[in-house]
Structure 1
Amino acid sequence: MSSAGRVRLLYPDDRHVLLDNGILQLTLSNPDGIVTGVRYHGVDNLLEVLNQESNRGYWDVVWNEPGGKGIFDVLKGTDFRVILEDESQVEVSFTRTWDSSLQGKVIPINIDKRFVVLRGSSGFYTYAIYEHMEGWPDFNLGETRVAFKLRKDKFQYMAMADDRQRVMPFPDDRMPERSQRLAYAEAVLLTNPINPELKGEVDDKYQYSCDNKDNKVHGWVSLNPPVGFWQITPSDEFRSGGPVKQNLTSHVGPTTLAMFHSAHYAGDDLVPKFRNGEYWKKVFGPVFIYLNSTLEKADPLVLWEDAKIQMHREVESWPYSFPLSEDFPKADQRGSISGRLLMQTYQQIQLMLDWLSQETLDHGKKNARLLRITVHTILCLKQGYQFWARADVDGFFSISNVRTGDYNLYAWVPGFIGDYKYDANITITPGSDINLGDILYEPPRDGPTVWEIGIPDRSAAEFYIPDPNPLYINKLYVNHPDKFRQYGLWERFAELYPDGDLVYTVGVSDYGKDWFFAQVPRRKPDSSYQGTTWQIKFKLDSVVQGAPYKLRVAIASSTLAELQVRFNDPRASPAHFTTGLFGRDNSVARHGIHGLHWLFTITVRSSWLSAGENTAFLTQPRSSGPFPGIMYDYIRFEGPAPSSPTPHKPSPSK
């Protein structure tokens, strides 16, 4: 990044404004506030000049009235004003004020889109303030983002992670004469691409999705001239869904997205619904569009490594000091929270129950140290702000630069089921530094483990993921840890189990080899689909009559699915347990290994069980197409709770 002269605000004509700092020129339509041009490193415009101006760089939303269909709305301003213009910074605003004459036409919120260019900065910032006034119409917010469409004649190399970057197809390659549409519109097989080396590959934007926690920088590289265009997200506070919510990044277009909120990999369960004319206000961003270049031979890796360095600088600078909206609090207007989450495990309780002598008692006291493990802690504010952190190996966590407000504190620990929720609201005030001390989480459990399948980590990644059909591959994911991102894996189930559904035998089967990663419908020879029933076979030496057993089923993903559970009678009607229809995260089709997480606890009557051989039948009956289905996270069968009285618990160890 080089220094340059002062920042200038120019008016090239009556329909545009231009922000120039000597490194780049940012052109915005007036009063719409659409990014129509980015001039940098001798290139007149990095954005797609063949597109209409309104389809180059823009904020948008997908919304609907209650019960109505989704509406795509590019957010165009109606008024322009200069917030600040001096030699170090220019900040401009494009606003649109809602009134009743717009009902049903545009989303019922006030919009204030901001753009900022700083002196010496090789890029620009954008953020927006959305406001729904009290008494205004109800609505649902399905998605909001910033999108940039880059020049296809220059940007053909995409990077989003060290091991997820490649030469990409051209947008023209997705046209009917060059491709074959697959099971849904986003996925195509490249049959006659402009770059012949890509022939036979699948292109699908969902193959480049990313968890929020890993989604800090992504973008494109032009090789001639060697220029990078990168979208950097310095904070997660304005995103929705938590650290493992997946979102789109960059994909064929060439398109770069700053996703703030979406229903992808979540469905309607994560869509904010504003009712009864409630007031709501939220700041999205700022995000940074970083531009870089090299004078030497074009090397995408050089520009990628530089973009990562810049990303770390932006993260360290958060919260920014330069945004001028009073709705964006600076560092001294925020607070922090810290503490330590400790785990009370069932093994520790059992150890205390098994005291047989003073020697055992002493041993129990010495070893009743509460487990400390990596933990995700999440603060959630009603207006939609979230702050999260990963605890250290001793369970200590700290979340800084938290906006003021009343929060809920949640936590979850890989390796254990359930969610911890702090039993009181936490109020953050300017300058507050709250230390919760030691807090204790007791994961749900009623008895000893009889058997278990999988790892409780909110993902199906540990189960068997098949090789893709060689006719439908993305070469990026060949011999790649994200094998699940290959297209069409759902079809492999019927190929691997042509004569019957999956049967898993506890103590014999290996869930990494014998448990298919998703319970999907079976495709029949006539191309229709039918539901499937998986079996878990297990032995019980004896059954404690009259004592309840428990089956805990953690679901990593569900799409228009139903889980029915029966014990030892596959035709029991009604089923011993059913979830009913649930889930709409579509993770199977969108190459995700998880979506929304669900936990079901099923009380199993002893009368359903037998001493000796037993079978649990897991039926997913929904079969409207290939995609209704379930990804399991973890299944645990617990025996009856011990009958011995539980002694007084020791205090958490330090």
Structure 2
Amino acid sequence: MSPLGVQLHVQDRHVVMENGIVRVTLSNPDGIVTGIEYNGIDNLLEVLNEEFNRGYWDLVWSEAGSTGTTGTFTRIIGAYFSVIVENEEQVEISFTTTWDSSLKGNAPLNIDKRFILLRGCSGFYSYAIYEHLEGWPDFNMPETRIAFKLRKDKFHYMAMADNRQRIMPMPDDRLPPRGQPLAYPEAVLLVDPINPDLRGEVDDKYQYSCENKDNRVHGWICFDPPVGFWQITPSDEFRSGGPLKQNLTSHVGPTTLAMFLSAHYAGEDMVTKIRNNEAWKKVFGPVFIYLNSTIFDEDDPLLLWEDAKLQMMVEVQSWPYSFPASDDFPTFEQRGNISGRLLIQDWYLSEDYIAADGAYVGLAPPGDVGSWQRESKGYQFWSIADEDGYFSINNVRAGDYNLYAWVPGFIGDYKYEVAISVTSGCEIDVGDLVYEPPRDGPTLWEIGIPDRSAQEFYVPDPNPKYVNRLFVNHPDRFRQYGLWERYAELYPDDDLVFTIGVSDFTQDWFFAQVNRKIDENTYQATTWQIKFQLDQVDQTGAYKLRIALASATVSELQVRINDPKANPPQFTSGVIGKDNTIARHGIHGLYWLFNIDVPNALLLQGDNTIYLTQANATGPFQGILYDYIRLEAPSVDPNNRHKN
């Protein structure tokens, strides 16, 4: 650790922060990171890029009334520079831009970008405060993030998980003639890469996406000299969509991203929409850019990843940071804590309460049941319950929240009906909470595992022409490109038929109900069948079919019972979902749960068939990923309930 204090040098066109370990140069007053000097490398950022295209905050925005997830891409350029803190222990600097109604082309936001360098710290922090004042125009914001473009002559090895790291292609490999574009621009077949070992592989940035809950550290390694560049996100509180929301990490460029808002794997539901002249303010970050190097040249550079994970744990344990100088970032003392216990009541499984082992329990802005997965304006705080169902949600910003939960192994969402108001320093114990998952009658049969993912179903091997070798024999085999085309190869004439008691969902239930490709421009809707037997039909009431979806993309699920041509169907979802999960190798997007009445008159003693049709068939990426399906017998007298 360097004994040197932090120094700040303000120049006409640049501002420099240094502490004897790292030297960070930013444009003045733009607030673009133009240079990072570390371990003898004069700049870790791509020196061949223009200064504005090296390290920057950006956003995508559109005017109110716009639809979809696109808009105007805007680098956030500061108009005024100021020094917030300057001493030997810390420098914090600010680059602000103020919205001007007379200027067209900018989102109606005041933005304050902050950068912090601490004594002895091998890296720097950045955060920003976005503010929309009451009376300003309404607008949409689909995305905002920090991007760093690293030197392509230095950084070739990327790591974002223990089992997701590799030598990456060069950016030139993605361009013709070295690269051949595939079904969408992000996916490229490497036909003549600079590194011949990569020939024949597919590169696609979505193969390296990650759920928020696991997206803590990712980055790149330079081997000569051994240097690591890591983006560490110590908290999810400022990210949108909850713990399962997926975001991009690092990808060919070499590029490293800190994603705060995005519509990926969710669609327009996740676009931040500021409406009705509302006042809105949100702090994104701080995130940490961590730099490390090996002590001796002969050390294994891959140990830099292990060190980055250790540093990530330090950052997580240090949250909330004590050093940001903005009053909009509350300290530990200004936050509150919530604790309690979640129990499950499902009479079919147990007469007693069941501890919600592994439940995700969180605070998010007030809304309907399950609204947290589409929420993007406020802050969210999540924890996982222990084996006895006890949970503790710590370091919560003051504000009004609802408490939400979902439990792996059980369908549906829980919401605590009592609103929770968190104040500075509060300790709130909500006691024992009881979640009653949807249940009418005994389970007759079930397919899958209710975990909001299609990962347990059959994921085929990729077409040998489109392989990313990282994901061969990998638990995330669903990240291979082109799996949607494998369905028609496996089922060229007839669609999937699943027989209860005979079929195995890990082998016989394709992970995605996609359209069948007929030719280059023609697709055919698919209808899957579930065959089952009833010894007798209960005449006391309706049966219940529960279908939980892990994803939907411009899809219409139609359900028919014993009549494949019934019109209208017994149930239709209508056109739902814009997750685009199938194309983006995500295995889940937004969660849907449908509870469908099945009149006993539609069922037969003996053989029965449920027909599931995905009726929207205009392209390859429309489709449904199932999470779990269950048929229940009619409800029974509460006094005579027992598991069959």
Report the TM-score when normalising by structure 2: 0.96
1:379 aligns with 2:367: no
Give the match's secondary structure for 2:313: helix
- Is this contact kept in 2: 1:223–1:299, CA < 8 A? no
User: What do residues 183-203 of structure 1 show as CA deviations (whole Å, max 9, x unaligned)?
Assistant: 100000000000000000000
Provide Cα deviations, 1:463-519, integer angstroms capped at 9, x if missing partner. Answer: 000001111100111111110011100000000001111011111110000000000
Q: Does 1:275 align with 2:259?
A: no
Greater mean deviation of Cα atoms: 166-175 or 540-549: 540-549
Q: CA deviation at 1:593?
A: 0.8
Asked if the contact 1:63–1:140 (Cα under 8 Å) also holds between the matched residues in 2, the reply is yes
Separation in 2 of the partners of 1:624 and 1:52?
42
Q: Aligned residue for 1:395?
A: 389
Q: How does 1:354-433 map to 2 (within 5 A)?
A: 368-381=352-365, 383-433=377-427
| Structure 1 segment 461-610 matched on structure 2, within 5 A | 461-525=455-519, 527-545=521-539, 547-610=541-604
| CA shift digits 1:263-313 (9 cap, x unpaired) | 001111122211111111000000000000113225332111111111111
Alignment-derived partner of residue 74 in structure 2: 73
| Residue 36 of structure 1 pairs with residue 34 of structure 2 | yes
Alignment correspondent of 2:51: 53
Describe the superposition over 1:507-541 as per-residue Cα deviations: whole angstroms up to 9, x where unpaired.
11100000000000000145411110001111111
Q: Deviations over 1:559-599 (max 9, x none)?
A: 11110001011111111110000000111100111111010
User: 2:533 corresponds to which letter in structure 1?
Assistant: K
State the alpha-carbon separation in 1 of the partners of residues 221 and 98 from structure 2.
38
| Alignment partners' CA distance in 1, 2:155 and 2:219 | 9
Paired position in structure 2 for 1:249? 249
Work out whether residues 58 and 147 of structure 1, in 8 Å CA contact, stay in contact via their aligned partners in 2.
yes
State the match for 2:374 in structure 1. Answer: none
Report if the CA contact (8 A) 1:344-1:371 is conserved: no
Structure-2 residue corresponding to 1:10: 9
Aligned letter for 2:308? A
Equivalent-residue separation in structure 1 for 2:309 and 2:231 (angstroms):
11
Q: Counterpart of 1:581 in 2: which secondary structure?
A: strand
1:587-646 alpha-carbon deviations (Å, 9 max, x no partner): 110011111101011111112211111111000011121000000000001110013547
Q: Measured at CA, do residues 644 and 478 of structure 1 come closer, stay the same or move farther in structure 2, by a change above 3 Å? A: closer
Distance 2:640 2:261 in 1: 46
The question of whether the paired residues in 1 share the 8 Å contact of 2:46 and 2:150 is answered with yes
Output the CA distance in 2 between the equivalents of 1:254 and 1:314.
24
Distance 1:644 1:329 in 2: 49
Distance 1:378 1:338 in 2: 10
Structure 1 residues 436-489: Cα deviation after superposition (integer angstroms, max 9, x where no partner): 111111111101111110000000000000001111100111111110011100
Query: Match for residue 91 of structure 1?
Result: 92
What is the letter of the counterpart of residue 65 of structure 1?
E
Contact 1:375–1:414 (CA<8 Å) still a contact in 2?
yes
Distance 1:248 1:71 in 2: 19
Letter in 1 for 2:330: P
Q: 1:378 is aligned with what amino acid?
A: G
Residue deviations 1:220-266 (CA, integer Å, cap 9, x gap): 00011110000000111101111111110000000000011110011
1:4 CA displacement = 3.3
Structure 1 equivalent of residue 342 of structure 2 = 341
Greater shift, 611-620 or 370-379, is seen at 370-379
CA distance in 2, matches of 1:275, 1:525: 44
CA distance in 2, matches of 1:489, 1:341: 39
Measured against aligned partners, the alpha-carbon deviations of 1:172-220 in whole angstroms (never above 9, x if no partner) come to 0001110111010000000000000000000000000111111100000
How far apart are the structure 1 equivalents of 2:126 and 2:537?
64
Matched letter for residue 373 of structure 1? D
CA distance in 2: counterparts of 1:547 and 1:300, whole angstroms: 66
Name the SS for the 1:77 alignment partner: coil
Provide structure 2 residue ranges, at least 5 long, that are not aligned to the other structure. 367-376
Q: Separation in 1 of the partners of 2:568 and 2:110?
A: 51
Deviation at 1:369, TM superposition (A): 4.6
**RMSD of Structure 2 on Structure 1 (CA):** 1.3
**Is the CA contact (8 Å cut-off) linking 1:551 and 1:601 kept in structure 2?**
yes
If the length of structure 1 is used for normalisation, what is the TM-score? Answer: 0.94
Contact 1:4 1:23 in 2 (8 A): no
Instruction: Write the deviation string for residues 333-368 of structure 1: whole angstroms up to 9, x where unpaired.
Output: 00000001011122256x5xxxxxxxxxxxxxxxx3
Q: Distance in 1 between matches of 2:141 and 2:125?
A: 24
Aligned to 1:321: 322
> Could you report, residue by residue, the CA deviation over 1:370-389 in whole angstroms, capped at 9, with x for unpaired residues?
34421000110364100000
Preserved CA contact (<8 Å) 1:556 1:595: yes
Written as runs of structure 1 = structure 2, the 5 A alignment for 1:185-204 is 185-204=185-204
Structure 2 Cα separation of the partners of residues 344 and 165 of structure 1: 42
Aligned to 1:357: none
Question: What is the percent sequence identity of the aligned residues?
Answer: 67
Q: Which runs of 4+ in 1 moved over 4 A?
A: 644-647
In the alignment, the residues of structure 2 paired with residue 170 and residue 14 of structure 1 have an alpha-carbon distance, to the nearest angstrom, of 35
The structure-2 alpha-carbon separation of the partners of 1:644 and 1:167, relative to structure 1 and needing over 3 Å to count, comes to: closer
Secondary structure of 2:307's match? Answer: helix
Secondary structure class of the residue paired with 1:583: strand
Kept in 1: contact 2:2–2:19 (CA 8 A)? no
Q: 1:178 to 1:641 in 2, by over 3 A?
A: same
User: In the alignment, what sits opposite 2:454?
Assistant: 460
Query: How many angstroms apart in 2 are the aligned matches of 1:54 and 1:596?
Result: 35
Contact 2:225 2:297 (C-alpha < 8 Å) held by counterparts: no
Distance 1:609 1:440, change over 3 A: same
- Structure 1 distance, partners of 2:273, 2:30, is 27
SS at match of 2:102: helix
* Letter paired with 1:119: R
**Structure 1: how far apart are the matches of 2:163 and 2:501?**
36
Moved more, 538-547 or 84-93: 538-547
Letter aligned with residue 148 of structure 1: F
Amino acid at match of 1:474: N
1:546 Cα deviation from its structure 2 partner = 5.8
Rounded to whole Å, the distance in 2 between the matches of 1:526 and 1:195 is 32
CA contact (8 A) 2:356 2:407 kept: no
Contact 1:169-1:195 at 8 Å conserved across structures: yes
Give 1:57's aligned amino acid.
G
Distance 1:597 1:184 in 2: 25
2:333 maps to 1:332: yes
Amino acid at match of 1:375: A
Change (3 A) 1:332 1:646: farther
Specify the alignment match of 2:227 in structure 1.
Answer: 227
Report the more deviating stretch, 557-566 or 541-550: 541-550
CA distance in 1, matches of 2:392, 2:321: 20
Give the Cα separation in 2 of the matches to 1:102 and 1:74.
16
More deviation, 251-260/605-614: 605-614
Query: Is 2:497–2:531's contact at 8 Å kept on the other side of the alignment?
Result: yes
Task: State the alpha-carbon separation in 1 of the partners of residues 23 and 53 from structure 2.
Answer: 18
**Alignment-mate amino acid for residue 229 of structure 2:** F
Q: Any stretches of 5+ residues in structure 1 without a counterpart?
A: 352-367, 648-654
Matches within 5 A, 1:28-177: 28-68=26-66, 70-103=71-104, 105-177=105-177
Count of aligned pairs between the two proteins: 627
